[in-house]
Chains A and B, each alone.
Chain A
Amino acid sequence: MRRIVWSTMAALALAIIAAASPAMAQSKGKIYYMVPTLLDEFQTGSVDAITKFMKDVGYETVTLNADNKTDVQQSQMNDVINLKPKAIVLAAVDFGALAPYIDKARAAGIPVMIFDRQITTTKSDLTSVAGTVEIGQIAADEIEKLLKTKNGAVKGKVLQVLGDPGDPYTLDIQKGFEDKMKAFPDVKIISLPALQWEASNAGTIVADQLVANPDIDLIFVHAAHLAVTAVASLEAKGKKPGDVLLVSSNGAPVGLDLIRKGWEQVEVEQPLYAQAAALAMFADKVIAKQELKPGSYKVLGLDSTLTTEAWGANIKIPGAAISKANIDEPRFWGNMKAPTEPVKPVE
């Protein structure tokens, strides 16, 4: 028995040593990507995209997953600062709580690039976003059109299923959405959160609300994986595709599948590939601490605008509304056709 235990431990130790061995490939250096979680498809997709595009411009990417825990990400930042990488790419679990760690990294001479989750409370070296508030606004525009088509005017009942109520990402989408919808007092919005972004919690909310409010016209969920259980609940209540309209955000493959099947009408996409590519395009300049010139840039063919904000250089790439009309365009990351053309650094 003891032999088995020792053999197991030895094998485990070897595996850990092998995993920790430095990569042999030559590169300009390491960039650490601090991903908030690997439990949703956008984030796992971002790991592949950032790794690929950074490799295109000569950097090796090491990814650390914070499991959606702020304290874990804070510790990871401390560890990575000690490793002195070329740069850190941060997609923060909590926008505010990571600000002091960005300051600490920059004070140690390590540039920090912000991916997807904008931090405006402190300076960083480059932020690449679609804008979470803007996603809510785009969703509001699309929902306005859908309600008008269905009811003849912008009126009706909308069930908004948020993600975890402790996640600023979902609160920003809610803010963008509800601010825009204030213009339509005849639209009643019922907002409920799916704790921990867990899909079956979203299904439960939809099931309850379909009984309590059978006249719901449209369901807006803040992530595509929540739409799957929303549809399961609709199906269980005997609804057919289109009976209750469905809008989702982030552009994950599941959302696109639901559009193809007719259950979902619009998916508001975060341009994952372009957001990741933008960081790679400017990585050399950021690491060399050169000035990033404001202006218009083409990122994977998308018109993007780089501005200088109070928190530093900020490149905004517009999110897109995906519907049946444009769903097959390869630029949508949900179609899982990553660009094969290498990204070129900005001169």
Chain B
Amino acid sequence: MMSSRRRDVIEFLLNNLVWLLLVAVLVVFSLTVPNYFQIGIFANIIEQSTYVGVIAIGLAICIIAGNMDLSVESVAALTAMVVGILFCSRGVGLGYSFSPEWLVVPISLAIALGVGAVIGALNGWLVVGLKMNAFIATLASYIWVRGLVVALSGGRSAQDLAPSLRVIGIQTVLNIPLTAWVAIACFAGFSFVMAKTPFGRHVTMIGGNPVATFRAGIKVDRLVVITFVLAGAIAGLAGWLLAIRSSGATANLGTGMLFNAFAAVVIGGVSLKGGIGRLPGVYAGVLLLSSIHTAINLMGLPAHYTQMILGGLVLAAVLLDTVKLSIRQRLA
């Protein structure tokens, strides 16, 4: 018979496995990769986690609710381009400005969130209203939204973002850029929402068993639509941050981020079947991926290694998930 204390320890380790893995990876890289162990590199890792990390929050919420949103990468690219077109002064930028100048910050953010939310609402309507498969509906959005980016920009880029916005990408607090603090705040906020509020609990219940949740009197359809709107709006936020980082937008901005976000979500312990997952684990997954990317950059290894390691990590995460499940069954 296992003592409850030992059981708690094992549960804690299982719940935070990805954080332990992250610490182990950081230690190994610090000891073996030249120039890795320094504050600047750790700050870079946190900064680089910003964009994929923010996208992964919305994606994780959708997956926890038992759905999927493949459009998040393209939504981020679209909002970056919209912000770029409106508030950049060169390329395809129209250079809108306000008096006082700082107004551009809340206005551009509202536009980015709004654009993302509208596409999220459309996805939600297709899935809930028309009963379309979420994978197919959001795959279509992934394609047409990227097409819209090219159509809006004509394949050209927008440069020279308004200085009031750029300052968010340049200023640091505790050596970490403000954009990264936005991501950290998002993870903290949504982790709280998902773990401690009725909304979060209901979303997790829907992912676990939507029929039982419906019979418990919870408005399943409405909540599912809200998860899509949230995923879209959060992707919009990621696009806003990307535009700030890039001082504008190019038509291929954010390409490949969807798969990194998926990898982070899976590595972070979110079950693709829905109903299981915690956002802090997702953040650890994103940090883990960025740590590996950075190590590969510093070692000067060909980029193919990143993709091979990424694929291997995702496989390992799925295997670990299976192992965790069997350990939990034995504990029960």
For chain B, the bracket of interface size reads 35 or more
Q: Are A253 and B253 in contact (CB under 8 A)?
A: no
Interface presence of B191 (CB below 8 A)? no
- In the complex, which of the residues A165, A190, A212, A225 contacts B157, with contact meaning CB atoms closer than 8 Å? A225
In the bound complex, CA of A88 to CA of B263 (Å): 40
Kindly list chain A residues whose C-beta atoms are within 8 Å of the C-beta of B48.
204, 207
Given A199-B250, A212-B41, A228-B247, A41 and B155 contact (CB-CB distance below 8 Å):
yes
Q: Is B129 an interface residue (CB 8 A)?
A: yes
- Report whether A253 and B156 are in contact in the complex, using a CB–CB cutoff of 8 Å: yes
**By DSSP majority rule, is chain A's interface helix, strand, loop, or mixed?**
helix
Binds A, one of B5-13, B60-68, B197-205, B293-301: B293-301
CB neighbours (8 Å) of A196 from chain B are 252, 255-256
Contacts of A203 in B (CB 8 A): 245-246
Interface size class of A (residues with CB under 8 A): 35 or more
Q: Kindly state whether residue A251 has any CB partner on chain B within 8 Å.
A: no
Tell me if A5 counts as interface (CB < 8 A to partner B): yes
Contact, CB under 8 Å: B297 / A39 = no
Q: Which of A1, A38, A197, A200 has the most CB atoms of chain B within a 10 A radius of its CB?
A: A200
A199/B253 contact (C-beta < 8 A), A1-B129, A40-B155 known: yes
Contact yes or no, A229 B41, CB < 8 A: no
Query: Do A254 and B157 touch (CB < 8 A)?
Result: yes
- Given the known interface contacts A192-B297, A200-B246, A212-B41, the answer about A257 and B252 at a Cβ–Cβ threshold of 8 Å is no
| B159 proximal to A (CB < 8 A) | yes
- The CA of A197 and the CA of B306, in the complex, are separated in Å by 15
Please, what's the 1-or-0 string for B224-253, where 1 marks a CB less than 8 Å from any CB in chain A?
Answer: 000000000000000000100111101111
* Cβ contact of A225, chosen from B129, B154, B250, B306, cutoff 8 A: B250
Known pairs A44-B155, A229-B245, A257-B160 / 11 extra A-B pairs, C-beta < 8 Å: A40-B155, A40-B250, A165-B304, A193-B303, A198-B256, A199-B250, A200-B245, A204-B44, A211-B35, A211-B41, A228-B246
Shortest beta-carbon contacts, A-B, top 7: A44-B155, A211-B40, A39-B252, A212-B35, A208-B297, A193-B303, A39-B251
Residues of B that sit less than 8 Å from A by CB = 34-36, 38, 40-41, 44, 47-48, 51, 90-91, 129-130, 150, 154-157, 159-160, 166, 169-170, 177, 242, 245-248, 250-256, 293-294, 297-298, 300, 302-304, 306-307
